[in-house]
């Protein structure tokens, strides 16, 4: 959270691509289990009322408007009443196929013009893959989803897998944190990612202001459906009290995650003032999720760090996010310093391979960031 990131996706609801006929609730997941799933959902419906009452009693205090009525939750949780769309998009299909790993996994980021400008975030993002360890080869699996034509054009000059989201909104300029404009983009992103899951692709979603310094795939939890980075990690990956950051997720495509993205997206109407991440923070407690046996894991900031809680050990860090930072200039400034820190680390003659091999003479290599980001919220408030 606390992130002025721009990222996104598009909804193609009824306007552009082929109109999907509305189907009765059943998951279209390209596999077995649709029927079993429908049954499970019905069973859950029965259990639901009891659970919900309990849940509302427990967590109602967190809701800004008292609590939404039970039928709203039921509506949000009914899968596939509204498919997230994008299904008939040939271009997207082709882009995903070209970028995919053998096991239908892609890396996705979203980009608008402000972040795509030369010298801006996108350049730093791509550079991180070049100077990271075993990250360069991941570039061929990276799909850059752009919000506007200008970002798309810039993308195609630098990268083979670019996709222009069709959108009626103008997402060209910098979206300021928590404005209605920002919220809209964030929700379009969730919708888009849900439709990627529906197409059978698993993905690592990464904000563009996340620097990839090591290949993260070895650090993911093997048994999880949905894994998400944290602003602050409390020490246990299963602890629902962890504060997730939607800027970095690894999601495997299956019945449970397809349902979950629909549930998440539909839940936006229950909390109109909140963005996807805060809504996730509410619905993560929902008994539906444990009933669906969706395996959620929170990623350790030791590997997936950020300015909120940096990865302390440069021998372990995989990614670093310019979170807890508002303002494009602040982010660019500090991310450049971060990459310089990384280059210095990489140039060390006696590079640390693990925590035990600390040099005795010097202090172990460390970040010199955040700098401008650490005061960016205060300064933004003064400006207003």
Ligand X SMILES: *[C@@H]1O[C@H](CO)[C@@H](O)[C@H](O)[C@H]1NC(C)=O
Which residues here bind ligand X, judged by CB under 6 A? 91, 94-95, 98, 101, 103, 105, 170, 172-173, 202, 217, 252, 353-354, 356-357
Which residues pair with residue 146 across a beta bridge? 111, 164
Which residues pair with residue 226 across a beta bridge? 251, 296
| Least distance in angstroms from the C-beta of 98 to ligand X | 4
In the bound state with ligand X, the residue whose beta carbon lies nearer, of 155 and 335, is 155
In the bound state with ligand X, the residue whose beta carbon lies nearer, of 112 and 277, is 112
| Least distance in angstroms from the C-beta of 132 to ligand X | 16
| Helices 276-283 + 180-198 axis angle, to 10 | 60
Whose CA is closest to 338, among 316, 306, 378, 304?
A: 306
DSSP string covering 80-93:
TSS----TT-HHHH
Backbone angles phi, psi at 241, to 5 degrees: -80, -10
- What lies within 8 Å, CB to CB, of 297 at 6+ separation is 221, 224, 226, 227, 228, 237, 238
Q: Give the Cα separation of 271 and 277 in Å (integer).
A: 11
Whose CA is closest to 12, among 69, 72, 84?
A: 84
| Least distance in angstroms from the C-beta of 171 to ligand X | 8
In the bound state with ligand X, the residue whose beta carbon lies nearer, of 41 and 121, is 121
In the bound state with ligand X, the residue whose beta carbon lies nearer, of 105 and 267, is 105
| Least distance in angstroms from the C-beta of 103 to ligand X | 4
Cα 10 to Cα 96, 194, 229, 364, distances in angstroms: 15, 11, 23, 44
| Least distance in angstroms from the C-beta of 91 to ligand X | 6
Backbone angles phi, psi at 3, to 5 degrees: -145, 125
Of all residues in this chain, which one has the CB nearest to ligand X in the complex? 217
| Least distance in angstroms from the C-beta of 278 to ligand X | 26
In the bound state with ligand X, the residue whose beta carbon lies nearer, of 278 and 315, is 315
| Least distance in angstroms from the C-beta of 113 to ligand X | 8
Whose CA is closest to 128, among 318, 347, 362?
A: 318
In the bound state with ligand X, the residue whose beta carbon lies nearer, of 146 and 277, is 146
Whose CA is closest to 207, among 7, 3, 2?
A: 7
In the bound state with ligand X, the residue whose beta carbon lies nearer, of 94 and 236, is 94
| Least distance in angstroms from the C-beta of 226 to ligand X | 12
In the bound state with ligand X, the residue whose beta carbon lies nearer, of 101 and 243, is 101
């Amino acid at each position: 959270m606390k992130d002025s990131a721009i990222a996104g996706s598009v909804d193609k609801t009824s306007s552009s691509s082929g109109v999907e006929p509305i189907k009765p609730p059943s998951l279209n997941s390209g596999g077995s289990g649709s029927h079993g799933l429908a049954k499970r959902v019905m069973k859950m419906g029965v259990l639901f009322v009891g659970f919900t009452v309990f849940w509302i009693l427990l967590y109602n205090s967190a809701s800004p408007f008292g609590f939404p009525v039970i039928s709203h939750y039921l509506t949000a949780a009914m899968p596939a009443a509204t498919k997230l769309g994008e299904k008939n998009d040939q271009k997207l299909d082709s882009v995903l196929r070209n970028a995919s790993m053998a096991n239908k996994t892609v890396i996705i980021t979203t980009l608008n013009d402000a972040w795509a400008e030369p010298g801006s975030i996108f350049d730093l993002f791509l550079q991180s893959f070049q100077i990271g360890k075993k990250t360069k080869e991941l570039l061929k699996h990276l799909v850059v989803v752009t919000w506007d034509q200008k970002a798309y054009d810039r993308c195609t000059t630098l990268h083979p897998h670019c996709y222009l989201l069709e959108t009626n909104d103008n997402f060209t300029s910098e979206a300021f944190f928590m404005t209605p404009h920002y919220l809209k983009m964030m929700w379009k992103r969730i919708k888009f990612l849900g439709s990627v899951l529906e197409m059978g692709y698993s993905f690592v979603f990464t904000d563009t202001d996340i620097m990839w310094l090591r290949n993260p795939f070895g650090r993911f939890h093997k048994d999880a459906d949905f894994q998400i980075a944290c602003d602050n990690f409390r020490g246990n990956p299963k602890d629902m009290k962890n504060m997730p950051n939607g800027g970095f997720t690894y999601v495997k495509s299956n019945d449970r995650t397809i349902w979950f993205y629909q549930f998440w997206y539909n839940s936006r109407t229950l909390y109109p003032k909140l963005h996807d991440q805060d809504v996730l923070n509410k619905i993560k407690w929902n008994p539906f999720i444990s009933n669906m046996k969706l395996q959620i894991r929170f990623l350790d900031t030791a590997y997936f760090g950020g300015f909120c809680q940096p990865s302390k050990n440069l021998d372990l860090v995989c990614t670093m996010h310019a979170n807890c930072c508002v303002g494009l200039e602040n982010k660019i400034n500090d991310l450049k310093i971060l990459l310089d820190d990384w280059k210095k680390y990489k140039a060390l003659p006696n590079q640390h391979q693990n925590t035990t091999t600390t040099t005795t003479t010097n202090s172990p290599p460390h970040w010199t960031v955040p700098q401008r980001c650490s005061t960016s919220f205060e300064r933004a408030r003064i400006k207003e």
